[in-house]
Structure formats: structure tokens, C-alpha cells
Amino acid sequence: MSCTTILVGKKASYDGSTMIARNDDGFYDVKKLIVVEPKDQPRKYKSRIGHLEIELPDNPLRYTSTPSVDGEHGIWAANGINSANVAMTATETITSNPRVLGADPYVRYEKAKSKKEKDRAGGIGEEDLVVIVLPYITSARQGVERLGALLERYGTYESNGIAFSDCSEIWWLETIGGHHWIARRVKDEEYVVMPNQFGIDYFDFDDAFGEKKEFMCSADMKEFIEKNHLDLNLDGKVNPRNIFGSHSDADHVYNTPRAWFMGRYFNPSTYRWDGENADFTPESDNIPWSFVPEKKITVEDVKYILSSYFQGTPYNPYAKNSEKAGIYRSIGIPRTGVMAVMQMRGYMPHELQGIEWICFGPNAFNAVFPVYANTEKMPKYISEVTLDCDTSNFYWTSRLIAALADHSYGQCIQWIERYQGAVSAGGHRLLNEYDAKMTESGDYSLIREANEALCKMAGKEAVNALNHILLESSKDMKSNYSRSDN
């Protein structure tokens, strides 16, 4: 599934929190935000794609989830925060190359060809990962360790990148072939950009097979590389992107332009991003995996960059007079199902540390607002969503706003910007209000009330935006005439 991810270390963020966020770019997937209680977590999990049965541990933790409303093809939980204040987003589909896949093929489901044979189960994949990992970990590091062990045991049928975070640190894991993986800790002062391409550009085997402070990997990784002649580096340094990744023409249209735009936004003066003497262009294969930003990064920055479509460049698909408009795949696209920013606030009491900023539908036109993750149930506005269009919930209201605004972009963009600003400001205001109430009183039962208030605020602003955008789009209908019919 094509997605875009950004990871923000605690010294790079505006308030000292860690933030991991991802666009879940399915195919117009209908999504909701729910809480999964331990009693509702399966003890035997069976995947739809891999047809794989996995025995799960007892005593799972409660966790949030953004599953697909249509469960026909599996849960696809996408992201969440558990009651130990560990967050996970899964997954960012990444790339590989024929040498890797020849050495360690994907583990794909194979149906038996006769009654005498048995079906061959496939491995684990994006459909499964949040459900089989997040309820069983109490730190980001444990997330890497558990998922790594599952990959080595069951294998995978696809290439994926997965992020884990807690209040202290962020880890990023990338799968390699069917059973191998590497992981790297995000430096506290850095942010990471991931656009559907194998990303990690430096690895330290001494640490991975020693103290594991910053790096982890499969137990046989060095032998795997040497045996299969995978290392293409000439300088003696280990650049996993050159070993396991891709450098295709498709990457230059679909993937690297997104990394270019994200780096350009957060580090406009550090490098040259435009012109003949640019350090990096939209088609550069060597755009760094991580950067130290020029200023601290806010939730609004994360939302903006994951909603972006090359504004201020010739590649903006809404630009009317540019021959290059739309030639690169945007970050914010119409078929996004959900985007969530998992913010882990280490400076708050345990009950208030996990904040999930949620938005649904096309990111260019939707709005994001926060909810407290440490709760038994989410409000109906974001949790009770059906496959039928219904403006009583945030998902379908967001989809309607986007479809109408895209049709009349020039007339509607001002209302979109006002809507996004109002929802974000309202979210911060209510967070400040309820943070103060709960820390002063110690009454964390107010979390349910706070989440209801946040949803009510977002719903009011969404309806107001829809009213304005519907009117503007109606004025732009093809059968309109300037002469009044009154």
C-alpha cells in the first residue's frame, strides 16, 4: 500500500514529545478509530491474505486501532497506541531488488493443487502487524524485537517499513526479502522522511551485534549479505539503501519527489533544492533518510507536509500555467483512508501521555484533531462509521468536503485553510483545558468527556466548512448562467 511516513525525535519536536505519523493510502478505504479491549483481542489470529494462523500471547494490552470498516479483506489496523504508551504505525510499503528477492523470496500463500496436498500459508503483512505486535509490547525497542522474531519465524509476503515510538525514543524497522530485517533508532534531534522506498542509508553492524543502542537486525544479516553478493558500496561504509533498495525510473516519479519536498520544507536553507546547482532534485537517489530540522517541528507541520501536493513548485497539480503540473506523485492524494499523528508526551502523567491526532480521507482537504488514547471507548463520531455516506461522522464528512473542494479548488481553498486552522486551534485549546483539569484534580475519568468535547468541536467546524464548500461548488456547476432566474 502506497503511503508516506514522517518520524520526529523528541528534541526535534516543539514540546519534547516523540511523533510518528503516516498517510494510510489505501483505495478510498472507509476507516474508523476504535479501542480494542483485552477481552476482544483474539488468542488465535488468522490472516486473510496469508491464510496464516498465529497463536497470540495471553494478557494483551488495550490499544487504539484504525481498522477498515469493511473487514472482508482483513482488519488493516494501520496504527495505534497501547495502554503502556507505545505507538506503532504499520506499514509504509517499501522497495527491494531482484538480488534480495532471489536470495530470500517472499513467503506467499499457495493454494493446494489437489486434495492430497495442503495449502501453503503465506507470511505476515500490513494487514496483520498492528494486531499481532502492538498489544504485547511495553517499549518501542520491544516492538522491534517482537516483530523481528515474527518475521524470522513466519516470513512476509511484501516489503514494509514499520515505526514504533514511546515517550523516549523512535525505532524504524524495514523488512528485507521474506525473513530478514534491519532497524535503526531515530536520533532525538532528527526527523525522518519515508516515501515508499527503502530508506535507511547508514548501518552499524558493530552496534547491531553488540550493545544494540542504535541498530538491530536479523541474526544472520552479515552472512546473508556476503553469501549473496548484495553489498554494492565501494567506500567501505554500510549503506543499506544500496544493498537492499531500488533506484528505478518509477522511484523518480513516485517516491523520491516526496522525500525532496519534505526535506525542502523543513530544511530550506541547509541545502539547495531548486535550480541547476541543486544539492538534491525530485529525482535524486541520495536524499538523506534523516535530517536535523532548521526549527522545531509542530503537529501542524506534520499535518501540512503529509497533506502537501508540491505547493510553491511547478509540480503542483492545481497549477494552471505549468507544463510540469502533476508530473510527480503528491504526498497528499485522494485515496487516503486515514492519517494519524501519534504524539507521546513524556512530560505528562502516564494517563495523558498518548495523544492520537486523527483525520480521515484526502489529506489536502481534511483537518486533524487530537484525542486522548488512554480510554476504554472512542466517541461515536469517529468510531461508529458504516460503508454508507453519512455526515454524522467525521470520516464521511471529510470525504465530502474533499470531493467538493477538489472540484472547485480556486474557490474553496480559502475555506479549507480556515477549517484546518480552526480545528487545529480548537484541538490545542481543549487539550490545554483538559490537561490542566486532569493534572490538577487527578481525575482521569475526564478523558471520555474530553474526547467527546474534541469530537463535538471538530464536527461543528466540519459542518461549517461543508456548508461553505457546498455553496462554492454549486456556483461552479456547468449549467450555471449569470442572468438571474428570479
The C-alpha cell at 408 is: 472547485
Contact 131, 147 (CB under 8 A): no
The C-alpha cell at 16 is: 519534547
Give Cα separations from 232 to 159, 178, 246 (angstroms): 20, 20, 12
The C-alpha cell at 375 is: 480510554
Give Cα separations from 121 to 54, 97, 179 (angstroms): 11, 24, 14
The C-alpha cell at 456 is: 463535538
DSSP state at residue 124:
B
The C-alpha cell at 283 is: 529525482
**Cis peptide, bond prior to residue 91, ω within 30 of zero:** yes
Contact 239, 201 (CB under 8 A): yes
Nearest Cα residue to 129 out of 196, 64, 79:
79
In degrees and rounded to multiples of 5, residue 448 shows phi and psi of: -60, -45
CA distance 204 to 220: 14
Q: Which of 3, 217, 359, 412 is flagged as catalytic?
A: 3
- CB within 8 Å of 214: residues ≥ 6 apart: 184, 185, 204, 207
Degrees to nearest 5, angle at CA 42 with 37 and 48: 125
Give Cα separations from 284 to 2, 79, 260, 472 (angstroms): 19, 30, 8, 40
- Residue 389 bears catalytic tag: no
DSSP state at residue 136:
G
Report, as residue numbers or ranges, the catalytic residues: 3
